[in-house]
Amino acid sequence: YLVGPVTVLALSKQAEGSNGQPLERLDELVESYIQVLAALADAGVAWVQLAEPATVADLAVADDAQIAAHLEAAYTKILAAENRPQVYLTTPYGSARAGLDALAKVAPEALHVDLSVGTQALDADYVNRVKNTVDTAKTQLVAGLVDGRNVWAGNLRALRETFEQFDGASVSTSVSLQHVPHTVEAEPNLPVDVAAWFSFANEKIGEVVALAAGPLDAAEAYARADRAVRTRAESTRTHNQQVADRTAALPKGQVQREPAFTERQEAQKALGLPALPTTTIGSFPQTSDIRKARADHRAGNLTDEQYVEELRKEVASVIELQERLGLDVLVHGEPERNDMVQYFAELLDGFVVTENGWVQSYGSRCTRPPIVVGDVSRPKAMTVEWAKYAQSLSDKHVKGMLTGPVTILAWSFVRDDVHQSVSADQIGVALADEVKDLEEAGIEIIQIDEPALRELLPLREEDRPSYLDWAVRSFRLVSLDAAPTTQIHTHLCYSEFGQIIDAVAGLDADVTSIEAARSRMELLQDIDEKFHSEIGPGIYDIHSPRIPSVAEMAELIRAALKHVPLERLWVNPDCGLKTRGYEETEQSLRNMVLARDEVAANLKVSVNA
């Protein structure tokens, strides 16, 4: 298995100081691929899979026609090589357009297309285009009908009808099964009725086999799938009329918090914050003691009262550390949260969570995505007691911390029976109730994290406006009724946000913190008059254990001030500190405050509240 050469270059960046664009080096890279394929053939490899997901996206570096031309040029050479394995080309994560024509023309031994339910929902004509484009006399067509990115049991009869439209095709999953958990059999604590609705990696292999065999030879599998489809549609877990009525009563179209930002900014002067206020993004290091306490509590070795006491000790320690370092706006450190999404999923109706449903998140990090099984609601307050306790320990403001609707959905397995915007609205109003309760508890600064806003951006240009519209709406629902004096923060990371800067501005948060240290404030070049909020571009990279110096962070603050007025600039790290150790965290935050103080002194502005 290799990522194909066109995708490698389309998703690459040119080294600083180099001329040209990565795709201009395609001929050079193709020669390397030919050498690798020859070595694989000499080692006895019969087939090599080459993945070209660049075929299914609208990319800034090249349009669809240009990507198709690159594909044709690259694979004409690769397939002409005499010493190579047979080539199995895949086009995962969506529907190919001009790229499909190019790959059909060069005719690899096998060509895989993503025909999952999600892909067909976005491109209703894709099945017909594949039938009319791929010559199955020259290329073995592989229909990726079993959805490899979600966990729902497939409607085998409907999928089989689609499969039978192709003459002589093979069947497979739509993408690699790395995106779903291993097996439902490892989940004894799932509700019995719900477990039958799911299909994880092992079960999806069974669906592939059943689709190939047909309903006569795989009658039991088809009957099982029929039951899953029927019982899920009929279940009260899926449909909650009270939630449906509440969201139906919401205003249609975009919603807007009142009053406008400038008036809110004036009202929020009562918060008494200094110039260049310092804060962190939310989480503090999750120590081995905290993780052990959580494991002991789950195993029954710590009572609820003992576990809460351990967490309260950690919150008190985090507050004391921040006050000692001189930060202006504090956080409670989130020791009670196993994960920024799973924590909320366990407290919201409409979700289930797994015990062993681990999937790779990024690098070597793994997560257990919750599953949205039905209409979402909040049975009771989720964060208020922790926020109240933390605020009671300090005279400084302590932020309330929430994960936003889009990120909760992005890092969960979502429903496939309703549009994601429906679930987003439901989560939005549930979190709005939490905002109200936090305000009533005396919390005056509330952060709503949306690090996944860019991550869910559709691959095709024409699908992006509608996504951004409902994504922005769901965030605005959370803060819609917040008091003008309540300062709403949001945080975005993991991505380059220049492409969606209008949507980021459209969230209408009072303060937006964004990952910016590694790009040396490059993102701020996209900030213009449309971006009205206060902004906290991260000034040190929390993904590295390296402790940045005072001088380095002061330089980044000065770089940010070239784009952001002093009265709108915050000073903070790139992201949460959950994965860092306390020694490096303390020194880095100390340097951050000292850097702010140095810049403020040079500007002759006060940093006293």
- State the catalytic residues: 543
Three-state SS for 428?
helix
Q: CA Rg, the chain, in Å?
A: 26
CA separation for the pair 534, 135 (Å, rounded): 56
DSSP string of 307-335? Answer: HHHHHHHHHHHHHHHHHHHT-SSB--B-T
C-beta of residue 398 within 8 angstroms of C-beta of residue 438: no
Helix (H) / strand (E) containing 118: helix 117-122
CA separation for the pair 518, 543 (Å, rounded): 10
Residue 47, beta-bridge partner list? 86
Neighbouring CB atoms inside 10 A of 497's CB total 19
Three-state SS for 373?
strand
**Cα 118 versus chain centre, distance:** 17
Three-state SS for 361?
strand
Mapped to the 3 state alphabet, what secondary structure does 239-286 carry?
CCHHHHHHHHCCCCCCCCCCCCHHHHHHHHHHHCCCCCCECCCCECCC
CA separation for the pair 114, 403 (Å, rounded): 31
First to last CA, the chain: 58
Residue 111, beta-bridge partner list? 89, 141
The Cα diameter of the chain in Å comes to 82
C-beta of residue 170 within 8 angstroms of C-beta of residue 186: no
The closest of 354, 358, 355, 384 to 372, measured between CA atoms, is 354
- How far are the Cα atoms of 18, 347, 355 from residue 181, in angstroms, in the given order? 42, 22, 10
